[in-house]
Chain A
């Protein structure tokens, strides 16, 4: 599947904020139906890179190819309309509102009722029930509040929402960082399901173990540069961690940490 041409390709991206060079040459691509993990320690430039990919920042140098054509996003909305969806850490979900209301928020389906346009609740609830079932979440009732879901389930609802509304590329910003073991496996299973539908998943994380559990390819970002891309099976946890740490000093530590991880 990874022989298909990339949906989104970023070549030699640089981003400068005044004198600060946040990205100093990043190359990254994502193909349909694969999970490409972007690993990096805090401060490596992950956030800047995500924001560049999702249209929040414009790159200072380098080019972005979307389905083979050069593209310049002028706003996050452009990127969203092209099919690049980002699920940020805060998820953009409202705990007090039902799963259905959250899922459709901003894009509510409507039906005509005489001169009025009403929220098409039956349709909305049916779609959500169906989507949730596919993602392995059994809702107790259609108006169950998002606040009653676990962290992993919330993440899954946010992912399902992005995919349902036509995401071709799904950028997940640290989706497992705040989760426990079981919740993490739930999210990883969701990533697997989404990939199976042909969506290209960009999985951003600093946890090499989570990345290896689900990723097809791995790119490490360090001090604003990509240090090359490895395929599944070509790289070990230790190697990934060394690359993230930027070489030597972590190698000794990881020998200590190996057992603990």
Chain B
């Protein structure tokens, strides 16, 4: 038996030396890192003196990016687990209206309304997942159905209870509530006031808010975004469950054979995606003090775009939460940057389409590099 053993050993000389560039390329985040740098350099040059990088400007695109990041965290894990959730946008509208109806119309305490909305969203997420697993249908179709079902229900609920599609008054109801600031609060007010007093950030010079800093603190939304990204990243890369997420999306059959509970993983990821949508909705309702039946329109696609820009494969089994977060940052910076650069805002969609196409093409190439297929 010595001959085959010797033969096996000399295999190595035929392995090509892998360049560092190629090695770096197969990291899913690379495209998003380059994209983020590119976007920042571009807007520093084009809109550097427009106030985009002044405190208010920074707050502006940070908030938008954070919104995308919250949804992207959920969409990212779900996509790596091999599924989509197109009902995210409708879920945002639905959760918001549930919070508003329960707290304003029914007079429930706001904390109870928020927790109920979370319970309902998690349940719908589980139903999404259960239907996908049970029927074996593509999640694209199942969640597309829920995109319509939830949007329709949202408008109907809203109109049936208030005769309007916008339900206000959540702001007053939320006063003094212990849970509301977790979603709508602003942290570090004192620090920002102090920085304003020191002259480090601009303060209002006129009006009712004279002397207050233009940026009053860091909204809870930003902490949610950072928290969800950190949670999803650690879960994906540092835990046993994370390996199961990769495995479920990479090849569900192979994963089942070695004992990975694929159905449980996928259903839980649908629930996580729904949870993220509900966080988004709760933050938005608390910030505006109202809910509207048309909130969250197209958010499902924007979340998916962030994830794809972040290097995840649409077919599952490969991707990165950090990449998705950078995708959200790129998305937010460009959307707000075009405004600061006085560009026609409709061009944003053109940009979006182009960058999506580029990202998908690049991801496909990277996939071929990893799997060695031609």
Q: Which residues of A contact B (CB under 8 A)?
A: 77, 88, 90-97, 101, 104-108, 110, 116-119, 121, 136, 138, 140-141, 145, 147-148, 150, 152-153, 182, 185-186, 188-189, 192, 213-214
Residue of B nearest to A186 (CB): B8
B3 at the interface (CB under 8 A from A): yes
* Central interface residue in B18, B242, B258, by most chain A CB within 10 Å: B258
**7 extra A-B contacts, CB within 8 A, seeds A94-B254, A105-B260:** A96-B318, A108-B243, A116-B234, A118-B239, A186-B8, A188-B1, A189-B1
Q: Does B317 contact A (CB under 8 A)?
A: yes
The reply to whether A97 and B9 contact each other, CB–CB distance below 8 Å, is: no
Known interface pairs A148-B370, A186-B11; A106-B258 also in contact (CB < 8 Å): yes
* 20 cross-chain CB contacts under 8 A: A77-B259, A90-B254, A92-B258, A93-B254, A94-B317, A96-B246, A96-B367, A101-B246, A105-B243, A105-B255, A106-B247, A106-B259, A107-B259, A116-B234, A116-B239, A118-B234, A147-B373, A148-B372, A185-B3, A186-B11
The answer to whether B317 touches A145 (Cβ under 8 A) is no
In the complex, are the beta carbons of B317 and A97 less than 8 A apart?
Answer: yes
CB distance from B265 to the nearest CB of A (A): 11
Q: Which B residues are in CB contact (< 8 Å) with A91?
A: 254
> Separation in Å of the B73 CB from the closest CB of chain A?
18
Total chain B interface residues with beta-carbon distance under 8 A? 39
B181 at the binding interface (Cβ < 8 Å) = no
Q: Do A119 and B11 touch (CB < 8 A)? A: no
* CB within 8 Å for A96 and B4 given contacts A106-B260, A108-B240, A140-B15: no
**With the chains together, A189 CA to B8 CA distance in Å?**
8
Known A145-B370, A192-B1; judge A105-B247 contact (CB<8 A): yes
Residue ranges of B at the interface with A (Cβ–Cβ < 8 Å): 1, 3-5, 7-9, 11-12, 15, 18, 23, 26, 234, 238-240, 242-244, 246-247, 250-251, 253-255, 257-260, 313, 317-318, 367, 370-373
Q: Are B8 and A136 in contact (CB under 8 A)?
A: yes
Take A94-B250, A147-B372, A186-B8 as given contacts and tell me if A140 and B240 are in contact as well, using a CB distance cutoff of 8 Å: no
Contact B246 A119 (CB under 8 A): no
User: Which of B18, B234, B243, B371 is the one whose CB lies under 8 Å from A95?
Assistant: B371
Chain A interface, >50% SS class: mixed
Chain B residues positioned under 8 Å from A94 (CB to CB): 246-247, 250-251, 254-255, 317
Q: How far is the CB of A123 from chain B (nearest CB, A)?
A: 13
Q: How far is the CB of A204 from chain B (nearest CB, A)?
A: 17
Residues A97 and B11 in contact in the complex (CB < 8 Å), given A92-B254, A108-B240, A145-B370: no
Cα A141 to Cα B19 with chains together (Å): 13
A214 to B3, CA, bound (A): 12
Asked if A185 contacts B4 (CB within 8 A), the reply is yes
B-chain residues with CB within 8 Å of residue A104 when the two chains form the complex? 243
Q: In the complex, what's the smallest C-beta–C-beta distance from B261 to chain A, in angstroms?
A: 9
Q: Which residue of B is nearest A80, CB measured?
A: B259
When the two chains form their complex, are residues A96 and B1 in contact, meaning their CB atoms are under 8 A apart? no
**Complex-state Cα separation, A117 to B239, whole angstroms:** 7
Query: Known contacts being A119-B239, A186-B7, is A147 close to B370, with CB within 8 Å?
Result: yes
